[in-house]
C-alpha cells in the first residue's frame, strides 16, 4: 500500500512536505450467472505454466460462474472474478492433481468498478522523445537535493547520465508524463494501467487518477530520472527511459492481480529495472498457513521469478513499520481493505514483493547516513540503503514536493541500477545485484540510540543498512 493525505501511511510515504511552485512556468469470459449473494471479489488460480492446463483452468473459472480477467500462460496464473461465496471451494475441488493447483482470494473488500477499473485520464498525446546528454549544469532546485551528492549521483552524471536504451518501469499510481521534468523521459508506448489485472494501454491510462492526491508515482519517477533540463530537479539517472505501470488504485491499494500484471508487463516489454515502492495489499505479510494467502503468494512469486528470468532487475522498498523482518511475530494492520485483526506471523509470512527471491530490498537513511526511524530492517533481509528522509522530487502539474519513506529510498537504488545497466548492458540481474552490493559504501552499526539495539552484524553487512549506501559513481566508473 502507498499513502496520500487521505490515506493511512503504509510502505509508500510518511510525511508530505509543502508542494513547491513550478520552477519555470484472453479467453472469452462469461458473466457470473451462479450465486449473486456475495460481493464481487478477485481471485488468482494457479496451475501448470506453459501447458493446456492454463486454458483448462480458465475454462473451469467460466464453468463455475466466474469471469476470466486475464490468463498468464507463461506462469500458469489466471486472474478471475466471482460473486459466488463458494467459487474458490468449487475450483479447489478440481485439485490437487487436476487443472487447478490452488486458488486464492486476493482481497477482503468487494470490487468497486470506479476504483479498480478507473477511466483513463485524458491524454495530450504520446511522448517518446528523449533528452540528449549534456554537460552537468545544476537545475534550479538541485541545491535542495541533498540525496544526490550523498550517493555521488552528480559526479556519476559527469561520466554517464544513463542510456536511453535502459528502461525503468515505475510500478506505482501513475506518472504525470506532461510534467516539465518528465515529459521527455516517459515512453508512453511502454506504459499501461494494470489495476484490473489485465493491462490497459489506452492513451493516458497510466496517468494519476487525481493530479492532487495521486502524486506518489510521479515523485518516485522524478527521483529515478527527472531530466537535467534547466528546470526543477534532476534524477539519479536522467539519461534513461521511464515507463509508467499503474498498479495502485485511487484508494492507495495494490492488489495482487495488479502487481502480477505489472511484473508480467515488465517481462514482456523488456524492461531492465522496475521500482516497487509499495507492498501488496491487503495483507502486510502473506502467510502460507492460510490457503488464500498461500495461493496468492505463489502467484506473485511466479510473476516476479518470470520477470527476473527475462532479465528484469526488480528493486523494492523495505517498508515503513520500523519492523524487524528477520524476526516476525505479530501483524495488527491487516487486512487493510476492511477490518484489521491482530494475528501471529512467522518466517513463512512474506511481505510482497519486498521479500521475494531476487528482489533488491532497500532500507532508508537520513542526510546524516543514519537509519531513518521508520525504516524496516532485518539481518539477511536488507540488501542496500539509500536516502529516504525528506526527499525533494516531482509532483503532478509541474509541481515539486518533499516526501519521506522507504518508497523514496528505493528509486535511488533503481536509478543506480539503471546506471549499472547502462555501463554493463549485458549484465543479468544476478550480476547487477552482485555489483550493487560490492560497490555499496559500508555503514557501521550505530553505537547509541534506538537503532543501536536494532543493529546486528558487522560494518561489511548488518541488519540496518545491508551492504551499505549505494554508490552511483562506482556504478559508472
* Active site members: 172, 216, 407
Nearest by Cα to 206 from 275, 122, 273, 270: 122
List, in order, residues 6 or more apart from 2 with CB less than 8 Å away.
10, 11, 12, 13, 172, 173, 216, 248, 252, 254, 277, 278, 407
- The span from the CA of 322 to the CA of 357, in Å, is 22
Nearest by Cα to 388 from 320, 456, 475: 320
- The span from the CA of 418 to the CA of 70, in Å, is 30
- The span from the CA of 327 to the CA of 305, in Å, is 25
User: 3-class SS at 71?
Assistant: strand
Nearest by Cα to 365 from 440, 273, 290, 263: 440
Chain center to CA of 135: 32
Residue 407: phi, psi to the nearest 5? Answer: -60, -30
List, in order, residues 6 or more apart from 448 with CB less than 8 Å away.
none
List, in order, residues 6 or more apart from 245 with CB less than 8 Å away.
169, 170, 171, 172, 191, 192, 194, 206, 262, 265, 266, 274
Question: H helices of 64-202, where?
Answer: 87-92, 113-116, 147-150, 153-159
Q: b/e per residue, 448-465, with b = 16+ CB within 10 A?
A: eeebeebbbbeeebbbbb
- The span from the CA of 301 to the CA of 46, in Å, is 11
136 torsion bin: left (phi>0), alpha (psi -120 to 50), beta (else) = beta
- The span from the CA of 273 to the CA of 427, in Å, is 12
Residue linked to cell 493530479:
211
- The span from the CA of 328 to the CA of 344, in Å, is 8
Amino acid at each position: 500500500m502507498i499513502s496520500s493525505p487521505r490515506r493511512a501511511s503504509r510502505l509508500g510515504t510518511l510525511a508530505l512536505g509543502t508542494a513547491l511552485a513550478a520552477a519555470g512556468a484472453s479467453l472469452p469470459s462469461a458473466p457470473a450467472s451462479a450465486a449473486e449473494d456475495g460481493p464481487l471479489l478477485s481471485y488468482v488460480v494457479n496451475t501448470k505454466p506453459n501447458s493446456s492446463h492454463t486454458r483448462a483452468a480458465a475454462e473451469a473459472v467460466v464453468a463455475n460462474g466466474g469471469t476470466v480477467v486475464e490468463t498468464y500462460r507463461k506462469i500458469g496464473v489466471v486472474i478471475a472474478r466471482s460473486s459466488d461465496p463458494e467459487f474458490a471451494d468449487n475450483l479447489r475441488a478440481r485439485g490437487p492433481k487436476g487443472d487447478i493447483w490452488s486458488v486464492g482470494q486476493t482481497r477482503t473488500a468487494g470490487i468497486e468498478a470506479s476504483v479498480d477499473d478507473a477511466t483513463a485520464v485524458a491524454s495530450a498525446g504520446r511522448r517518446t522523445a528523449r533528452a540528449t546528454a549534456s554537460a552537468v549544469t545544476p537545475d534550479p532546485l538541485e541545491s535542495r537535493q541533498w540525496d544526490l551528492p550523498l550517493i555521488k549521483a552528480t559526479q556519476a552524471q559527469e561520466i554517464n547520465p544513463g542510456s536511453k536504451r535502459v528502461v525503468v518501469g515505475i510500478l506505482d499510481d501513475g506518472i504525470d508524463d506532461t510534467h516539465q521534468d518528465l515529459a521527455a523521459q516517459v515512453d508512453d508506448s511502454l506504459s499501461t494501467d494494470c489495476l484490473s489485472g489485465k493491462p490497459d494501454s489506452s492513451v493516458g491510462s497510466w496517468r494519476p487518477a487525481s493530479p492532487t492526491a495521486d502524486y506518489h508515482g510521479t515523485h518516485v519517477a522524478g527521483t529515478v530520472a527527472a531530466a537535467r533540463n534547466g528546470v526543477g530537479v534532476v534524477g539519479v539517472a536522467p539519461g534513461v527511459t521511464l515507463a509508467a505501470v499503474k498498479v495502485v488504485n485511487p484508494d492507495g491499494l495494490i492488489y495482487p492481480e495488479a502487481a502480477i500484471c505489472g511484473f508480467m508487463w515488465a517481462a514482456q516489454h523488456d524492461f531492465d529495472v522496475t521500482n516497487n515502492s509499495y507492498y501488496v495489499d491487503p495483507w502486510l505479510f502473506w502467510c502460507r498457513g492460510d490457503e488464500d494467502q498461500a495461493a496468492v503468494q505463489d502467484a506473485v512469486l511466479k510473476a516476479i521469478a518470470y520477470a527476473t528470468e527475462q532479465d528484469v532487475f526488480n528493486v523494492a522498498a523495505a517498508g515503513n513499520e520500523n519492523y524487524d523482518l528477520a524476526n516476525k511475530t505479530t501483524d495488527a494492520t491487516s487486512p487493510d481493505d476492511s477490518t484489521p485483526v491482530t494475528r501471529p506471523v512467522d518466517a513463512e509470512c512474506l511481505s510482497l514483493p519486498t521479500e521475494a527471491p531476487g528482489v533488491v530490498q532497500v532500507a532508508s537513511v537520513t542526510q546524516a547516513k543514519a537509519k531513518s526511524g521508520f525504516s524496516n530492517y532485518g539481518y539477511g533481509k536488507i540488501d542496500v540503503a539509500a536516502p529516504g528522509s525528506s526527499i525533494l522530487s516531482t509532483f503532478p502539474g509541474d509541481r515539486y514536493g518533499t516526501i519521506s519513506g522507504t518508497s523514496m529510498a528505493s528509486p535511488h537504488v533503481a536509478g543506480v541500477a539503471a546506471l549499472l545497466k547502462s555501463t554493463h548492458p549485458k549484465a543479468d540481474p544476478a550480476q547487477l545485484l552482485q555489483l550493487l552490493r560490492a560497490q555499496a559504501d559500508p555503514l557501521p552499526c550505530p553505537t547509541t540510540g534506538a537503532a543501536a539495539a536494532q543493529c546486528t552484524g558487522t560494518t561489511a553487512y548488518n541488519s540496518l543498512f545491508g551492504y551499505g549506501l549505494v554508490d552511483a559513481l562506482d556504478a559508472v566508473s
